Amino acid sequence: MAELTYREAVIEGIAQEMRRDEKVVFLGEDIGKAGGVFKATVGLWDEFGDLRVRDTPISEQAILGAAMGAAMTGLRPIAEIMFSDFLAVCWDIVTNQIAKSRYMTGGQVDLPLVIRTANGGGARFGAQHSQSVENWAMMIPGIKVVAPSTPADVKGLLAAAIRDPDPVIFFEQKSLYATKGEVPDGEHVDEIGKAKVVREGDDVTILALALMVPRALEAAERLQAEAGISASVVDIRSLVPLDTQTILSQVKKTARVVTVEENPRLCGWGAEIASIIAEECFYDLDMPIVRITTPHIPLSSADELEDAMIPSADRIFETVRQEVD
């Protein structure tokens, strides 16, 4: 296995699928010669040329309108929206057109497209460039929602998303781009809709996504070492479809559950999962479900304030220790 950064895994996943299938095309702002604002598309233009890797105007509506048309006419486009916050600019195309066209045509029109976007905080970009908006997407029927936490998952899940017959929004946590991890050599394709138990434990289950996964793992190691609390950590990976089987099996095993979300507290994905747990295994629980979230206020660009708002490993550790002890 090679050790790659999260951003290099993005490049690997796209290149793998573009080499495999000439119908895969890629479009977005500054993705070509510039290699992307986060340098997550470096080298793709050099290999595949400007016919398949297309720089676009600064227009999210144009990018997704073109991607939708391309998908309807037989291509498999990847469209980059530079910051996930900017999905608000083109939300009508996503929710009323891309998400619904296959259903409204009775399956006559397929829309095999991927919307890649940099999501979340931690990079000091302020309230309009730091939101974690995967909860926006998961409420819309007709869209699959993926948010990987490791380079291996980036490559494998991105390949799976590109091959999927339905539209997928692929959220890349921008603070993870520089992190490293082992990635399988050669063709690597994962499965959308499967959570992963990344740490086994007996006392409490911590459910996390994207940036919150490494922080939950760090907290879990401290809980074991300093408090004798054995924590399972589940990487949700895919919000739609959601792997309730893995989640519920871990909750039943430990009888205690904590969700760790970068979303603002109101209507975060953890609230939906908490409701499922309450419906499916309420009598298996030994304590109330606990949600650790970002507060329901715009993110600050000030270092100290942003760090205080987004759940940290310390906050996860302290919250779980207080609830489980």
Per-residue pLDDT of 208-257, as tens digits, reads: 999 999 999 999 999 999 999 999 999 999 999 999 999 999 999 999 99
Last-in-domain residue among 158, 183, 208: 183
What's the pLDDT score for residue 159?
98
Tell me if 113 is assigned to some domain: yes
What's the pLDDT score for residue 325?
80
Tell me if 191 is assigned to some domain: no
Last-in-domain residue among 183, 204, 234: 183
Last-in-domain residue among 183, 215, 244: 183
- Same structural domain for residues 179 and 201? no
- Same structural domain for residues 318 and 203? yes
- Same structural domain for residues 96 and 208? no
- Same structural domain for residues 168 and 213? no
Provide the CATH number for the domain around residue 63: 3.40.50.970
Provide the CATH number for the domain around residue 231: 3.40.50.920
- Same structural domain for residues 44 and 167? yes
User: Is 129 one of the catalytic residues?
Assistant: yes
- Domain hosting 52: range is 2-183
- Same structural domain for residues 15 and 57? yes
* Residue 200 confidence (pLDDT) above 90: yes
Rounded mean pLDDT of the chain?
Answer: 97
Average pLDDT over residues 47-69: 97
Q: DSSP labels for 6-59?
A: HHHHHHHHHHHHHHH-TTEEEEETT-STT--TTS-STTHHHHHHHHHEEE--S-
Distance CA 177, CA 155 (A): 13
- Same structural domain for residues 159 and 210? no
- Same structural domain for residues 20 and 76? yes
Tell me if 291 is assigned to some domain: yes
Q: Which residues contact 308 (CB under 8 A, 6 or more apart)?
A: none
Does 237 or 324 have the greater pLDDT score?
237
Entry field: residues in the chain: 325
Q: Which of 76, 102, 116, 129 is catalytic?
A: 129
What's the pLDDT score for residue 230?
98
Average pLDDT over residues 165-182: 97
What's the pLDDT score for residue 186?
93
- Same structural domain for residues 175 and 203? no
Amino acid symbol at 31: I
- Residue 150 — pLDDT band, cuts 50, 70, 90? very high
| Percentage, residues of the chain above pLDDT 70 | 100
Average pLDDT over residues 260-274: 96
What are the residues facing 292 on neighbouring strands? Answer: 260
Average pLDDT over residues 53-65: 97
- Same structural domain for residues 142 and 50? yes
Tell me if 79 is assigned to some domain: yes
What's the pLDDT score for residue 1?
85
What's the pLDDT score for residue 251?
96
- Same structural domain for residues 227 and 116? no
- Residue 280 — pLDDT band, cuts 50, 70, 90? very high
In this predicted model, what pLDDT tens digit does every residue of 93-146 receive, in sequence order?
Answer: 999 999 999 999 999 999 999 999 999 999 999 999 999 999 999 999 999 999
Distance CA 244, CA 226 (A): 31
The total number of structural domains that make up the chain:
2
Distance CA 196, CA 199 (A): 9
Q: Which two tokens stand for residue 246?
A: 């893995």
Average pLDDT over residues 14-22: 98
Tell me if 190 is assigned to some domain: no
